Amino acid sequence: MAIDREQLLHVAHLARLELRDEEVERLGAQLNDILAAVSKVSELDLSEVPPTSHPLDVVNVFGADVPHESLPLEEALANAPEREGSAFRVPPAGS
Amino acid sequence: MIDTLRLTAEQASELVRRREISPAELHAAYLEAIAARDPELHCYLHVCEEAEGEGIPIALKDVIGTRGIPTTAGSRILEGYVPVYDATVVTRLKARGLRILGKTNTDEFAMGSSTENSAYGPTRNPWDPSRVPGGSGGGSAAAVTAGLAPWALGSDTGGSIKQPSALCGNVGLRPTYGTVSRYGIVAFASSLDQVGPVARTVRDCAFLYSLIAGRDPCDSTTVDLPHPVELPEGDDLRGLRIGVPKELNEAEGIEPGVSAAVARAIERCRELGAEVGECSLPLSAEYGMPCYYLIAPAEASSNLARYDGVRYGYRARAADRVEMYARTRDEGFGDEPKRRILVGTYALSAGYYDAFYGQAQKVRTVIRREHDAAFERFDALACPTSPTVAFPLGARTQHPLAMYLSDLLTIPSCLAGLPGLNIPCGLSEGLPVGLQLIGPQFGENTLFRIGHALEQALGFDPVPARLRS
Protein backbone atom coordinates (compact mmCIF):
# COMPACT_ATOMS: atom_id res chain seq x y z
CA MET A 1 0.00 0.00 0.00
CA ALA A 2 2.79 2.40 -0.96
CA ILE A 3 1.95 6.01 -1.61
CA ASP A 4 3.86 7.72 -4.43
CA ARG A 5 5.00 11.30 -4.86
CA GLU A 6 1.91 12.34 -6.80
CA GLN A 7 -0.48 10.88 -4.20
CA LEU A 8 1.50 12.49 -1.40
CA LEU A 9 1.26 15.91 -3.06
CA HIS A 10 -2.47 15.37 -3.57
CA VAL A 11 -3.00 14.50 0.11
CA ALA A 12 -0.83 17.47 1.12
CA HIS A 13 -2.99 19.72 -1.03
CA LEU A 14 -6.18 18.34 0.56
CA ALA A 15 -4.66 19.21 3.95
CA ARG A 16 -3.47 22.63 2.70
CA LEU A 17 0.14 21.81 3.44
CA GLU A 18 2.76 23.20 1.09
CA LEU A 19 5.60 20.69 1.26
CA ARG A 20 9.14 21.59 0.23
CA ASP A 21 10.99 19.09 -2.00
CA GLU A 22 13.17 17.93 0.85
CA GLU A 23 10.02 17.23 2.92
CA VAL A 24 8.37 15.27 0.14
CA GLU A 25 11.38 12.93 0.15
CA ARG A 26 11.75 12.55 3.89
CA LEU A 27 8.11 12.59 5.03
CA GLY A 28 7.10 10.43 2.05
CA ALA A 29 9.42 7.62 3.13
CA GLN A 30 8.29 7.84 6.76
CA LEU A 31 4.66 7.94 5.70
CA ASN A 32 5.02 4.70 3.81
CA ASP A 33 6.53 3.02 6.88
CA ILE A 34 3.66 4.28 9.02
CA LEU A 35 0.98 3.24 6.52
CA ALA A 36 2.53 -0.22 6.25
CA ALA A 37 2.35 -0.57 10.04
CA VAL A 38 -1.23 0.68 10.45
CA SER A 39 -2.49 -1.41 7.51
CA LYS A 40 -2.31 -4.30 9.95
CA VAL A 41 -5.90 -3.47 10.98
CA SER A 42 -7.08 -4.95 7.67
CA GLU A 43 -5.98 -8.45 8.75
CA LEU A 44 -9.12 -8.80 10.87
CA ASP A 45 -12.51 -9.73 9.45
CA LEU A 46 -14.81 -7.31 11.26
CA SER A 47 -17.75 -7.17 8.88
CA GLU A 48 -20.16 -7.99 11.74
CA VAL A 49 -18.63 -5.57 14.27
CA PRO A 50 -20.13 -2.10 14.76
CA PRO A 51 -17.73 0.86 14.85
CA THR A 52 -16.90 2.82 18.01
CA SER A 53 -16.66 6.57 17.40
CA HIS A 54 -16.10 7.45 21.05
CA PRO A 55 -16.13 5.44 24.26
CA LEU A 56 -18.95 7.16 26.13
CA ASP A 57 -22.58 6.07 26.13
CA VAL A 58 -24.07 9.50 25.63
CA VAL A 59 -26.20 10.54 22.66
CA ASN A 60 -28.00 13.77 21.84
CA VAL A 61 -26.84 15.98 24.66
CA PHE A 62 -28.87 19.16 24.72
CA GLY A 63 -27.90 22.43 26.35
CA ALA A 64 -30.28 24.86 28.00
CA ASP A 65 -31.29 27.61 25.57
CA VAL A 66 -30.10 30.50 27.69
CA PRO A 67 -28.78 33.70 26.11
CA HIS A 68 -25.37 34.81 27.33
CA GLU A 69 -22.78 37.45 26.52
CA SER A 70 -20.58 36.77 23.52
CA LEU A 71 -16.88 37.51 23.48
CA PRO A 72 -16.41 41.29 23.07
CA LEU A 73 -15.23 42.26 19.58
CA GLU A 74 -11.85 43.52 20.72
CA GLU A 75 -11.12 40.25 22.50
CA ALA A 76 -12.29 38.15 19.59
CA LEU A 77 -9.89 40.03 17.34
CA ALA A 78 -7.08 40.30 19.89
CA ASN A 79 -5.01 37.51 18.33
CA ALA A 80 -5.70 38.37 14.68
CA PRO A 81 -2.55 38.38 12.51
CA GLU A 82 -4.17 41.24 10.57
CA ARG A 83 -7.48 43.02 11.01
CA GLU A 84 -9.49 45.69 9.32
CA GLY A 85 -12.13 47.34 11.46
CA SER A 86 -14.28 44.57 12.89
CA ALA A 87 -13.01 41.91 10.48
CA PHE A 88 -10.08 39.50 10.07
CA ARG A 89 -8.09 40.66 7.07
CA VAL A 90 -6.78 38.00 4.65
CA PRO A 91 -5.09 38.11 1.23
CA PRO A 92 -7.45 37.92 -1.77
CA ALA A 93 -8.45 34.58 -3.25
CA GLY A 94 -6.32 34.04 -6.35
CA SER A 95 -6.96 32.27 -9.61
CA MET B 1 12.97 26.87 54.44
CA ILE B 2 10.74 24.94 52.07
CA ASP B 3 12.13 21.79 50.43
CA THR B 4 10.09 21.79 47.24
CA LEU B 5 11.59 18.42 46.26
CA ARG B 6 9.85 16.70 49.15
CA LEU B 7 6.78 18.86 49.82
CA THR B 8 3.51 17.24 48.75
CA ALA B 9 0.53 19.35 47.71
CA GLU B 10 -1.30 18.06 50.78
CA GLN B 11 1.52 19.23 53.07
CA ALA B 12 1.77 22.56 51.23
CA SER B 13 -1.98 23.18 51.66
CA GLU B 14 -1.66 22.38 55.34
CA LEU B 15 1.20 24.89 55.77
CA VAL B 16 -0.88 27.57 54.08
CA ARG B 17 -3.97 26.68 56.11
CA ARG B 18 -2.02 26.95 59.36
CA ARG B 19 -0.55 30.25 58.11
CA GLU B 20 2.98 28.96 58.50
CA ILE B 21 3.63 30.19 55.01
CA SER B 22 1.74 32.62 52.80
CA PRO B 23 0.58 31.66 49.31
CA ALA B 24 2.95 34.30 47.90
CA GLU B 25 5.92 32.91 49.86
CA LEU B 26 5.13 29.41 48.67
CA HIS B 27 4.86 30.65 45.08
CA ALA B 28 8.23 32.38 45.51
CA ALA B 29 9.84 29.17 46.81
CA TYR B 30 8.85 27.40 43.58
CA LEU B 31 10.07 30.33 41.47
CA GLU B 32 13.41 29.98 43.23
CA ALA B 33 13.53 26.24 42.50
CA ILE B 34 12.64 26.98 38.86
CA ALA B 35 15.42 29.58 38.63
CA ALA B 36 17.88 27.07 40.06
CA ARG B 37 16.99 23.94 38.10
CA ASP B 38 14.91 24.81 35.05
CA PRO B 39 17.76 26.24 32.94
CA GLU B 40 19.05 22.65 32.79
CA LEU B 41 15.72 20.79 32.60
CA HIS B 42 13.54 23.17 30.52
CA CYS B 43 10.22 22.07 32.01
CA TYR B 44 8.58 25.46 31.54
CA LEU B 45 7.69 27.38 28.40
CA HIS B 46 6.32 30.25 30.45
CA VAL B 47 6.72 31.07 34.15
CA CYS B 48 4.22 33.28 35.98
CA GLU B 49 6.16 35.50 38.36
CA GLU B 50 2.90 36.84 39.75
CA ALA B 51 -0.38 35.05 40.38
CA GLU B 52 -3.61 35.52 42.24
CA GLY B 53 -5.16 33.08 44.67
CA GLU B 54 -5.00 32.12 48.32
CA GLY B 55 -4.00 28.53 47.63
CA ILE B 56 -0.98 26.60 46.52
CA PRO B 57 0.63 26.75 43.05
CA ILE B 58 0.09 24.42 40.09
CA ALA B 59 1.79 23.97 36.73
CA LEU B 60 -0.27 23.47 33.58
CA LYS B 61 0.70 21.69 30.38
CA ASP B 62 0.85 24.24 27.60
CA VAL B 63 -2.10 22.76 25.71
CA ILE B 64 -4.39 24.13 28.45
CA GLY B 65 -5.77 27.54 27.54
CA THR B 66 -5.10 30.27 30.11
CA ARG B 67 -6.56 33.75 29.85
CA GLY B 68 -3.80 36.33 29.51
CA ILE B 69 -1.01 33.74 29.65
CA PRO B 70 0.64 32.52 26.41
CA THR B 71 -0.48 29.06 25.27
CA THR B 72 1.57 27.50 22.47
CA ALA B 73 0.95 23.73 22.58
CA GLY B 74 4.69 23.47 21.91
CA SER B 75 4.15 24.76 18.37
CA ARG B 76 5.53 27.67 16.37
CA ILE B 77 2.11 28.07 14.80
CA LEU B 78 0.77 29.29 18.17
CA GLU B 79 3.79 31.40 19.09
CA GLY B 80 2.54 34.60 20.70
CA TYR B 81 -1.03 33.32 21.08
CA VAL B 82 -2.62 34.60 24.28
CA PRO B 83 -6.05 33.06 25.00
CA VAL B 84 -8.88 35.43 25.82
CA TYR B 85 -10.65 32.86 28.01
CA ASP B 86 -9.73 30.16 30.53
CA ALA B 87 -10.21 26.44 29.97
CA THR B 88 -12.90 25.07 32.31
CA VAL B 89 -10.29 23.14 34.31
CA VAL B 90 -8.44 26.42 34.90
CA THR B 91 -11.63 28.17 35.99
CA ARG B 92 -12.23 25.35 38.47
CA LEU B 93 -8.69 25.48 39.87
CA LYS B 94 -8.83 29.28 40.23
CA ALA B 95 -12.17 28.98 42.03
CA ARG B 96 -10.33 26.86 44.62
CA GLY B 97 -7.62 29.50 44.97
CA LEU B 98 -4.90 27.65 43.09
CA ARG B 99 -2.18 29.86 41.62
CA ILE B 100 -0.83 29.27 38.14
CA LEU B 101 2.92 28.79 38.34
CA GLY B 102 3.51 28.44 34.64
CA LYS B 103 2.97 26.50 31.43
CA THR B 104 4.92 23.32 30.85
CA ASN B 105 6.66 21.95 27.80
CA THR B 106 5.02 19.40 25.55
CA ASP B 107 5.60 17.68 22.26
CA GLU B 108 4.03 19.83 19.57
CA PHE B 109 0.23 19.49 19.85
CA ALA B 110 0.84 16.70 22.39
CA MET B 111 2.12 14.47 19.58
CA GLY B 112 5.07 12.49 20.80
CA SER B 113 6.56 10.43 23.61
CA SER B 114 9.68 12.39 24.59
CA THR B 115 8.95 16.19 24.36
CA GLU B 116 11.63 16.26 21.66
CA ASN B 117 8.92 17.32 19.21
CA SER B 118 8.46 20.62 21.05
CA ALA B 119 9.29 23.54 18.78
CA TYR B 120 10.91 25.17 21.81
CA GLY B 121 13.44 22.45 22.57
CA PRO B 122 13.21 19.28 24.68
CA THR B 123 12.70 18.87 28.40
CA ARG B 124 15.28 16.74 30.20
CA ASN B 125 14.73 13.97 32.73
CA PRO B 126 15.50 15.06 36.32
CA TRP B 127 16.96 11.58 37.05
CA ASP B 128 19.44 11.88 34.19
CA PRO B 129 19.45 15.01 32.01
CA SER B 130 20.91 13.10 29.06
CA ARG B 131 17.59 11.23 28.88
CA VAL B 132 14.07 12.20 27.88
CA PRO B 133 11.29 12.74 30.45
CA GLY B 134 8.77 10.98 28.23
CA GLY B 135 5.95 12.73 26.46
CA SER B 136 4.01 14.41 25.40
CA GLY B 137 3.60 15.87 28.91
CA GLY B 138 7.29 15.66 29.79
CA GLY B 139 7.32 19.23 31.11
CA SER B 140 4.62 18.64 33.73
CA ALA B 141 6.07 15.28 34.80
CA ALA B 142 9.66 16.54 35.06
CA ALA B 143 8.54 19.70 36.89
CA VAL B 144 6.76 17.68 39.59
CA THR B 145 9.70 15.30 40.03
CA ALA B 146 12.26 18.11 40.14
CA GLY B 147 10.31 20.07 42.77
CA LEU B 148 9.43 22.83 40.30
CA ALA B 149 5.71 22.44 41.06
CA PRO B 150 3.85 20.56 43.81
CA TRP B 151 1.52 19.13 41.18
CA ALA B 152 0.44 19.74 37.61
CA LEU B 153 -2.14 19.05 34.96
CA GLY B 154 -1.36 17.13 31.81
CA SER B 155 -3.35 15.80 28.90
CA ASP B 156 -3.39 12.24 27.62
CA THR B 157 -4.45 10.97 24.21
CA GLY B 158 -2.50 7.71 23.98
CA GLY B 159 -0.27 7.87 27.06
CA SER B 160 0.88 11.49 27.42
CA ILE B 161 0.24 11.62 31.18
CA LYS B 162 0.99 8.02 32.17
CA GLN B 163 4.20 7.47 30.17
CA PRO B 164 6.05 10.64 31.29
CA SER B 165 4.99 9.94 34.89
CA ALA B 166 6.52 6.48 34.51
CA LEU B 167 9.77 7.83 33.08
CA CYS B 168 10.03 10.58 35.73
CA GLY B 169 8.93 8.44 38.69
CA ASN B 170 5.73 10.13 39.83
CA VAL B 171 1.98 9.58 39.90
CA GLY B 172 -0.15 10.36 36.86
CA LEU B 173 -3.79 9.66 36.14
CA ARG B 174 -5.46 9.45 32.79
CA PRO B 175 -9.12 9.70 33.88
CA THR B 176 -12.10 7.89 32.40
CA TYR B 177 -13.02 9.47 29.07
CA GLY B 178 -15.69 12.10 29.62
CA THR B 179 -15.03 12.89 33.28
CA VAL B 180 -12.93 16.03 32.74
CA SER B 181 -13.88 18.97 30.53
CA ARG B 182 -11.81 19.68 27.42
CA TYR B 183 -13.32 23.15 26.93
CA GLY B 184 -10.39 25.47 26.28
CA ILE B 185 -7.88 22.67 25.68
CA VAL B 186 -5.95 22.60 22.39
CA ALA B 187 -7.63 19.64 20.67
CA PHE B 188 -5.60 16.75 19.26
CA ALA B 189 -7.88 13.68 18.90
CA SER B 190 -11.26 14.45 20.40
CA SER B 191 -12.48 10.88 20.95
CA LEU B 192 -9.36 10.19 23.01
CA ASP B 193 -8.09 13.44 24.64
CA GLN B 194 -8.38 13.60 28.43
CA VAL B 195 -7.01 16.10 30.95
CA GLY B 196 -5.61 14.64 34.15
CA PRO B 197 -3.43 15.20 37.23
CA VAL B 198 0.28 14.65 37.78
CA ALA B 199 1.43 14.56 41.40
CA ARG B 200 4.01 13.23 43.85
CA THR B 201 1.56 11.04 45.79
CA VAL B 202 -1.59 9.10 44.97
CA ARG B 203 -3.56 11.15 47.49
CA ASP B 204 -2.51 14.41 45.82
CA CYS B 205 -3.42 12.91 42.47
CA ALA B 206 -6.86 11.85 43.72
CA PHE B 207 -7.54 15.24 45.29
CA LEU B 208 -6.54 17.14 42.16
CA TYR B 209 -8.78 14.85 40.12
CA SER B 210 -11.69 15.68 42.44
CA LEU B 211 -11.15 19.40 41.71
CA ILE B 212 -11.37 19.08 37.93
CA ALA B 213 -13.82 16.22 37.34
CA GLY B 214 -17.51 16.50 36.53
CA ARG B 215 -19.90 17.65 33.88
CA ASP B 216 -19.27 20.94 32.10
CA PRO B 217 -22.08 22.48 30.03
CA CYS B 218 -19.38 23.86 27.69
CA ASP B 219 -18.22 20.33 26.78
CA SER B 220 -21.10 18.07 25.78
CA THR B 221 -18.88 14.98 26.00
CA THR B 222 -18.61 15.30 29.79
CA VAL B 223 -20.58 13.46 32.46
CA ASP B 224 -20.82 13.70 36.23
CA LEU B 225 -18.97 11.12 38.30
CA PRO B 226 -21.35 8.35 39.44
CA HIS B 227 -19.71 8.46 42.90
CA PRO B 228 -17.51 11.07 44.59
CA VAL B 229 -13.72 10.79 44.63
CA GLU B 230 -12.47 9.06 47.79
CA LEU B 231 -9.07 10.03 49.12
CA PRO B 232 -7.31 6.70 49.72
CA GLU B 233 -6.27 5.86 53.27
CA GLY B 234 -6.04 2.10 53.73
CA ASP B 235 -2.95 -0.03 53.47
CA ASP B 236 -4.42 -3.37 52.49
CA LEU B 237 -5.97 -4.71 49.31
CA ARG B 238 -8.23 -7.37 50.76
CA GLY B 239 -11.26 -8.14 48.63
CA LEU B 240 -9.74 -6.78 45.41
CA ARG B 241 -9.11 -8.87 42.32
CA ILE B 242 -6.21 -7.76 40.16
CA GLY B 243 -5.78 -9.14 36.66
CA VAL B 244 -2.42 -9.45 34.94
CA PRO B 245 -2.93 -9.23 31.17
CA LYS B 246 -0.42 -11.69 29.75
CA GLU B 247 0.19 -9.88 26.47
CA LEU B 248 0.78 -6.47 28.08
CA ASN B 249 3.27 -7.98 30.53
CA GLU B 250 5.14 -10.14 28.05
CA ALA B 251 5.16 -7.90 24.96
CA GLU B 252 8.29 -7.83 22.86
CA GLY B 253 10.48 -4.88 23.78
CA ILE B 254 9.74 -4.79 27.51
CA GLU B 255 13.10 -4.44 29.25
CA PRO B 256 13.94 -7.18 31.79
CA GLY B 257 14.49 -4.57 34.53
CA VAL B 258 11.01 -3.16 33.88
CA SER B 259 9.42 -6.63 33.96
CA ALA B 260 11.18 -7.48 37.20
CA ALA B 261 10.10 -4.31 39.01
CA VAL B 262 6.50 -4.66 37.81
CA ALA B 263 6.40 -8.34 38.79
CA ARG B 264 7.63 -7.44 42.29
CA ALA B 265 4.90 -4.78 42.62
CA ILE B 266 2.24 -7.26 41.52
CA GLU B 267 3.58 -9.78 44.06
CA ARG B 268 3.32 -7.07 46.68
CA CYS B 269 -0.38 -6.63 45.79
CA ARG B 270 -0.85 -10.30 46.62
CA GLU B 271 0.92 -9.86 49.96
CA LEU B 272 -1.38 -6.93 50.72
CA GLY B 273 -4.35 -9.23 50.34
CA ALA B 274 -5.40 -8.86 46.71
CA GLU B 275 -6.39 -11.86 44.67
CA VAL B 276 -4.12 -11.86 41.60
CA GLY B 277 -4.85 -13.81 38.43
CA GLU B 278 -3.81 -13.90 34.80
CA CYS B 279 -6.00 -12.60 32.00
CA SER B 280 -5.66 -12.03 28.30
CA LEU B 281 -6.08 -9.06 25.93
CA PRO B 282 -4.63 -10.56 22.75
CA LEU B 283 -6.25 -8.36 20.09
CA SER B 284 -5.86 -5.18 22.15
CA ALA B 285 -2.14 -5.80 22.46
CA GLU B 286 -1.65 -6.69 18.82
CA TYR B 287 -3.97 -4.22 17.10
CA GLY B 288 -4.06 -1.35 19.59
CA MET B 289 -1.14 0.51 18.10
CA PRO B 290 -2.20 0.35 14.43
CA CYS B 291 -5.77 1.23 15.46
CA TYR B 292 -4.59 4.24 17.48
CA TYR B 293 -2.26 5.49 14.76
CA LEU B 294 -5.20 5.66 12.37
CA ILE B 295 -7.84 7.13 14.67
CA ALA B 296 -5.64 9.73 16.38
CA PRO B 297 -4.12 11.13 13.15
CA ALA B 298 -7.52 11.13 11.41
CA GLU B 299 -9.02 13.23 14.20
CA ALA B 300 -5.87 15.35 14.40
CA SER B 301 -6.01 16.16 10.69
CA SER B 302 -9.49 17.51 11.26
CA ASN B 303 -8.73 19.35 14.52
CA LEU B 304 -5.59 20.97 13.15
CA ALA B 305 -7.44 22.34 10.13
CA ARG B 306 -8.23 25.42 12.26
CA TYR B 307 -4.60 26.59 12.11
CA ASP B 308 -4.91 28.54 8.90
CA GLY B 309 -3.29 31.87 9.77
CA VAL B 310 -6.61 33.73 9.69
CA ARG B 311 -7.81 34.33 13.25
CA TYR B 312 -4.84 33.72 15.53
CA GLY B 313 -1.33 32.34 15.57
CA TYR B 314 1.36 32.47 12.94
CA ARG B 315 0.69 33.71 9.41
CA ALA B 316 3.10 33.36 6.47
CA ARG B 317 3.24 36.11 3.88
CA ALA B 318 1.60 35.25 0.56
CA ALA B 319 -0.24 37.19 -2.12
CA ASP B 320 -2.96 34.57 -2.50
CA ARG B 321 -5.19 33.21 0.27
CA VAL B 322 -4.88 29.47 -0.40
CA GLU B 323 -1.13 29.92 -0.74
CA MET B 324 -1.20 31.72 2.60
CA TYR B 325 -2.96 28.77 4.28
CA ALA B 326 -0.57 26.18 2.85
CA ARG B 327 2.60 28.16 3.56
CA THR B 328 1.47 29.12 7.06
CA ARG B 329 0.93 25.46 7.83
CA ASP B 330 4.21 24.35 6.26
CA GLU B 331 6.21 26.94 8.19
CA GLY B 332 4.18 26.73 11.40
CA PHE B 333 3.93 22.96 11.93
CA GLY B 334 6.87 20.69 12.76
CA ASP B 335 7.43 17.23 11.30
CA GLU B 336 5.25 15.20 13.65
CA PRO B 337 2.02 17.19 13.18
CA LYS B 338 2.70 17.12 9.43
CA ARG B 339 3.12 13.34 9.45
CA ARG B 340 -0.10 12.93 11.38
CA ILE B 341 -2.03 15.39 9.24
CA LEU B 342 -0.89 13.52 6.12
CA VAL B 343 -1.66 10.05 7.52
CA GLY B 344 -5.01 11.25 8.83
CA THR B 345 -6.03 13.03 5.65
CA TYR B 346 -5.08 9.93 3.66
CA ALA B 347 -7.00 7.60 5.99
CA LEU B 348 -10.11 9.79 5.69
CA SER B 349 -9.93 10.39 1.95
CA ALA B 350 -12.38 8.95 -0.55
CA GLY B 351 -11.57 5.35 -1.39
CA TYR B 352 -9.50 4.72 1.76
CA TYR B 353 -11.98 5.66 4.49
CA ASP B 354 -13.53 2.19 4.95
CA ALA B 355 -10.24 0.31 4.81
CA PHE B 356 -8.48 2.59 7.26
CA TYR B 357 -10.59 4.83 9.51
CA GLY B 358 -13.76 2.71 9.36
CA GLN B 359 -11.83 -0.49 10.05
CA ALA B 360 -9.93 1.13 12.92
CA GLN B 361 -13.22 2.14 14.55
CA LYS B 362 -14.33 -1.49 14.42
CA VAL B 363 -11.04 -2.63 15.93
CA ARG B 364 -11.78 -0.14 18.68
CA THR B 365 -15.03 -1.99 19.43
CA VAL B 366 -13.10 -5.26 19.66
CA ILE B 367 -10.64 -3.67 22.09
CA ARG B 368 -13.49 -2.34 24.27
CA ARG B 369 -15.11 -5.76 24.37
CA GLU B 370 -11.88 -7.46 25.38
CA HIS B 371 -11.47 -5.01 28.25
CA ASP B 372 -15.13 -5.39 29.27
CA ALA B 373 -14.64 -9.16 29.48
CA ALA B 374 -11.52 -8.75 31.65
CA PHE B 375 -13.40 -6.47 34.05
CA GLU B 376 -16.08 -9.09 34.57
CA ARG B 377 -13.43 -11.04 36.47
CA PHE B 378 -11.17 -8.29 37.85
CA ASP B 379 -11.42 -4.90 39.59
CA ALA B 380 -8.21 -3.62 38.02
CA LEU B 381 -5.48 -4.72 35.62
CA ALA B 382 -1.74 -4.32 36.13
CA CYS B 383 1.14 -4.09 33.66
CA PRO B 384 4.13 -1.86 32.89
CA THR B 385 3.32 1.69 31.77
CA SER B 386 6.31 1.99 29.46
CA PRO B 387 8.21 -0.93 27.95
CA THR B 388 11.48 0.82 28.79
CA VAL B 389 12.96 3.24 31.28
CA ALA B 390 13.79 6.77 30.08
CA PHE B 391 15.80 6.60 26.85
CA PRO B 392 18.60 8.96 25.71
CA LEU B 393 17.70 12.14 23.86
CA GLY B 394 17.87 11.59 20.13
CA ALA B 395 17.52 7.79 20.36
CA ARG B 396 14.14 7.64 18.60
CA THR B 397 13.77 11.00 16.82
CA GLN B 398 14.78 9.68 13.41
CA HIS B 399 12.40 6.73 13.60
CA PRO B 400 8.75 7.73 14.07
CA LEU B 401 7.63 4.10 14.42
CA ALA B 402 10.17 3.40 17.18
CA MET B 403 8.86 6.46 19.01
CA TYR B 404 5.26 5.25 18.53
CA LEU B 405 6.17 1.97 20.28
CA SER B 406 6.81 3.93 23.50
CA ASP B 407 3.03 3.96 23.96
CA LEU B 408 2.42 0.31 23.11
CA LEU B 409 1.15 -0.54 26.61
CA THR B 410 -0.78 2.67 27.36
CA ILE B 411 -2.72 2.84 24.10
CA PRO B 412 -5.23 -0.06 24.40
CA SER B 413 -7.03 1.21 27.52
CA CYS B 414 -7.05 4.76 26.08
CA LEU B 415 -8.93 3.46 23.04
CA ALA B 416 -11.39 1.78 25.40
CA GLY B 417 -11.89 5.08 27.28
CA LEU B 418 -10.72 3.57 30.57
CA PRO B 419 -8.84 5.21 33.45
CA GLY B 420 -5.18 4.42 34.00
CA LEU B 421 -2.92 5.33 36.89
CA ASN B 422 0.87 5.27 36.82
CA ILE B 423 2.74 4.83 40.06
CA PRO B 424 6.51 4.41 40.42
CA CYS B 425 7.37 0.85 41.48
CA GLY B 426 11.15 0.76 41.57
CA LEU B 427 14.33 1.48 39.65
CA SER B 428 16.04 -0.22 36.75
CA GLU B 429 19.50 0.99 35.76
CA GLY B 430 19.00 3.80 38.28
CA LEU B 431 15.89 5.07 36.47
CA PRO B 432 12.23 4.88 37.55
CA VAL B 433 9.93 2.08 36.41
CA GLY B 434 6.21 2.77 36.20
CA LEU B 435 3.40 0.37 37.09
CA GLN B 436 0.20 0.93 35.13
CA LEU B 437 -3.08 0.20 36.88
CA ILE B 438 -6.07 0.13 34.54
CA GLY B 439 -9.61 0.35 35.85
CA PRO B 440 -13.11 -0.13 34.47
CA GLN B 441 -15.07 2.95 33.40
CA PHE B 442 -15.31 5.35 36.42
CA GLY B 443 -13.05 2.99 38.39
CA GLU B 444 -10.68 5.73 39.61
CA ASN B 445 -11.35 5.14 43.32
CA THR B 446 -10.19 1.53 43.02
CA LEU B 447 -7.03 2.66 41.25
CA PHE B 448 -6.37 5.23 43.97
CA ARG B 449 -6.86 2.59 46.66
CA ILE B 450 -4.45 0.15 45.03
CA GLY B 451 -1.98 2.88 44.15
CA HIS B 452 -1.96 4.31 47.67
CA ALA B 453 -1.52 0.95 49.41
CA LEU B 454 1.30 0.01 47.04
CA GLU B 455 2.93 3.41 47.43
CA GLN B 456 3.12 2.85 51.20
CA ALA B 457 4.31 -0.73 50.83
CA LEU B 458 6.95 -0.07 48.15
CA GLY B 459 8.42 3.05 49.80
CA PHE B 460 9.75 4.42 46.51
CA ASP B 461 11.79 7.61 47.00
CA PRO B 462 10.46 10.00 44.33
CA VAL B 463 13.39 12.42 44.61
CA PRO B 464 16.01 11.67 41.93
CA ALA B 465 19.24 10.41 43.47
CA ARG B 466 21.27 13.25 41.93
CA LEU B 467 19.04 15.87 43.56
CA ARG B 468 18.97 14.38 47.08
CA SER B 469 20.85 16.40 49.65
For the question of residue B246 being annotated catalytic, the response is: no
Residues of the domain holding A33: 1-43
Separation of first and last alpha carbons in chain B: 14
For the question of residue B280 being annotated catalytic, the response is: no
Q: Which of the residues B160, B165, B301, B406 is marked catalytic?
A: B160
Query: Which of A13, A39, A55 lies at the smallest CB-CB distance from B417?
Result: A55
Alpha-carbon gap: A41 to the closest alpha carbon of chain B (Å): 6
Q: Note the pLDDT tens digit of each residue in B139-155.
A: 999 999 999 999 999 99
A75 in any annotated domain: no
CATH code for position A17: 1.10.20
- What span, in angstroms and rounded, lies between the C-alpha atoms of B58 and B128? 24
CA B354 and chain centroid, separation = 31
A59 in any annotated domain: no
Q: Note the pLDDT tens digit of each residue in B307-349.
A: 999 999 999 999 999 999 999 999 999 999 999 999 999 999 9
A1, pLDDT greater than 70: no
Number of domains in chain A: 1
Asked whether the ipTM of the predicted complex exceeds the cut of 0.90, the reply is: yes
Q: Which pLDDT score, from 0 to 100, does residue A95 have?
A: 55
Q: Which of A3, A10, A11 to mutate to test the interface with B (most CBs of B within 10 A)?
A: A11
Q: Where are the domains of chain B?
A: 9-283+364-467
Determine the residue of chain B that is closest to A7 in CA distance.
B346
Question: Average of pLDDT values for B299-311?
Answer: 97
- What span, in angstroms and rounded, lies between the C-alpha atoms of B416 and A59? 17
A13 in any annotated domain: yes
Contact B343, B297 (CB under 8 A): yes
Q: Note the pLDDT tens digit of each residue in B192-242.
A: 999 999 999 999 999 999 999 999 999 999 999 999 999 999 999 999 999
A65 in any annotated domain: no
Q: Note the pLDDT tens digit of each residue in B50-108.
A: 999 999 999 999 999 999 999 999 999 999 999 999 999 999 999 999 999 999 999 99
For residue A37, the chain B residues in CB contact (below 8 A) are: 289-290, 293, 401, 404
Q: Note the pLDDT tens digit of each residue in B115-145.
A: 999 999 999 999 999 999 999 999 999 999 9
Q: Which pLDDT score, from 0 to 100, does residue B196 have?
A: 98
Q: Which pLDDT score, from 0 to 100, does residue B432 have?
A: 98
**Cis ω on the peptide bond leading into residue B136 (within 30° of 0)?**
yes
* Cα–Cα distances in angstroms (integers) from residue B360 to residues A43, B102, B289, B297, B303, in the given order: 11, 37, 10, 12, 18
Alpha-carbon gap: A66 to the closest alpha carbon of chain B (Å): 12
A41 and B319 in contact by Cβ < 8 A?
A: no
Q: Which pLDDT score, from 0 to 100, does residue B414 have?
A: 98
A11 and B312 in contact by Cβ < 8 A?
A: no
Superfamily of domain B9-283+364-467: Amidase signature (AS) domain (3.90.1300.10)
Q: Which pLDDT score, from 0 to 100, does residue A63 have?
A: 83
A32 in any annotated domain: yes
Query: Which of B319, B349, B359 lies at the smallest CB-CB distance from A41?
Result: B359
For residue A73, the chain B residues in CB contact (below 8 A) are: none
A60 in any annotated domain: no
Of B59, B53, B47, B52, which is closest to residue B9 (Cα–Cα)?
A: B59
Percent of chain B exceeding pLDDT 90 equals: 99
Q: Note the pLDDT tens digit of each residue in B8-52.
A: 999 999 999 999 999 999 999 999 999 999 999 999 999 999 999
Q: Note the pLDDT tens digit of each residue in A35-55.
A: 999 999 999 999 999 999 988
For residue B345, the chain A residues in CB contact (below 8 A) are: 11, 14-15
